[in-house]
Structure 1
Amino acid sequence: MSRRMMILFFAVVAAQVVGLVLFAGVRQVALTQGREVTLQTAPVDPRSLLQGDYAILDYEIARLPSRMRDEREGDVVYVVLHECGEVWCADRYSSWEPEPPDVFIRGRVTDRRRLDFGIGTFFVPEGTGHIVEQARDVKVVVSLSASGNAVINQVLVDGRPFDPEGR
């Protein structure tokens, strides 16, 4: 292997490692320093032969209001949240990043005119997906970074932390 090829190889490997560290770092900062909010969901429980059981979490705040019909697939939309009882609800939707002290979550418009926050899938141990599917009330506790990125902290099933073993 020539010296130039070896340098190129190590540069590509280093770039991938840096990318993974940054990805993990952003999520860790959101978990440790982010604002914690609870969102209401309606679970859908598919099964992937390659990945096992997982729940698709359909957030109430993910429905794009009709007044935002100019937004296209892939556009970023911010949902400003406010407390309404046990959960946080949508106060307003914006194409522009809100200013502090607003609490907000960042999403992207999907082809179905909904918002994807990057927290729509929750993996569960195989054979336990039915617990989430059959629950009457599913809420998700997420941490929000200063830029509105969300990370799942905990899933609450009928008011209690999800425990696949039922303890």
Structure 2
Amino acid sequence: MKTKMKTTLIIFNFILLLVLTSFSAFKEESYKKGDYFYLKLAPVDPRSLIQGDYMILNYEIVDELWARLNNTKNNMKVGYIVAKIDENKVAHFIDVVDKPFDDKNLIFIKFKSNSYNIKINADSFLFQEGEAKTYENAKYSKVVIVNNVLRLVDLVNEI
């Protein structure tokens, strides 16, 4: 009796694990097929460009946000970058707001800030070992927005 119960429990757990893993993989693939756009990368310190199997990323849109926040002496901790996507699917900084509003021509990218750093949830890129040369000259990141939060899909040299 106990053996049958253990076997049933193991099979149930395996099926549950399979369902959860499949759901997670399906969700991740759906992000990659979503309505993507590009963010122009800004230069970073070359000594910290490639650290192991990941890259630290910096974006022009974040630099523009940083300048805007410093010019207005605004110390927002959480907010949204307002951006417009051009004909090449590249996002350009428009403004910064504390909460998104309804405008189909604009996108809203959530950010978090402290006194010295701004995070937009796509600030590092993981890649396979030995693939650094493929990505070190990237000029854009390919991203999608899910609930106003960026999801990094890939790095590209050209659009």
* Unmatched tracts of structure 1, length 5 or more: 1-16, 161-167
Alignment map for 1:106-145 (pairs within 5 Å):
106-112=110-116, 114-133=117-136, 135=137, 137-145=138-146
Matched, 1:89 2:127: no
1:99 equivalent in structure 2: 102
Which structure has more strand as a fraction of its residues?
1
Counterpart-to-counterpart distance in 2, 1:68 and 1:77: 15
Counterpart-to-counterpart distance in 2, 1:77 and 1:156: 27
Alignment map for 1:50-61 (pairs within 5 Å):
52-61=52-61
Residues 68 and 103 (structure 1 numbering): CA distance in 2 closer, same or farther, change over 3 Å?
Answer: same
Counterpart-to-counterpart distance in 1, 2:132 and 2:43: 10
Which structure has more helix as a fraction of its residues?
2
Identity %: 20
CA contact (8 A) 1:132 1:138 kept: no
2:62 equivalent in structure 1: 62
1:57: Cα distance to partner? 1.1
Alignment map for 1:24-43 (pairs within 5 Å):
28=28, 31=31, 34-42=34-42
Q: TM-score when scaled to structure 2?
A: 0.65
CA contact (8 A) 1:144 1:150 kept: yes
Q: TM-score when scaled to structure 1?
A: 0.62
CA contact (8 A) 2:32 2:153 kept: no
1:155: Cα distance to partner? 1.3
* Unmatched tracts of structure 2, length 5 or more: 1-16
What amino acid is the match of 1:37? F
CA contact (8 A) 2:111 2:121 kept: yes
Size of the aligned set, in residue pairs, is 128
CA contact (8 A) 1:143 1:151 kept: yes
1:106: Cα distance to partner? 0.6
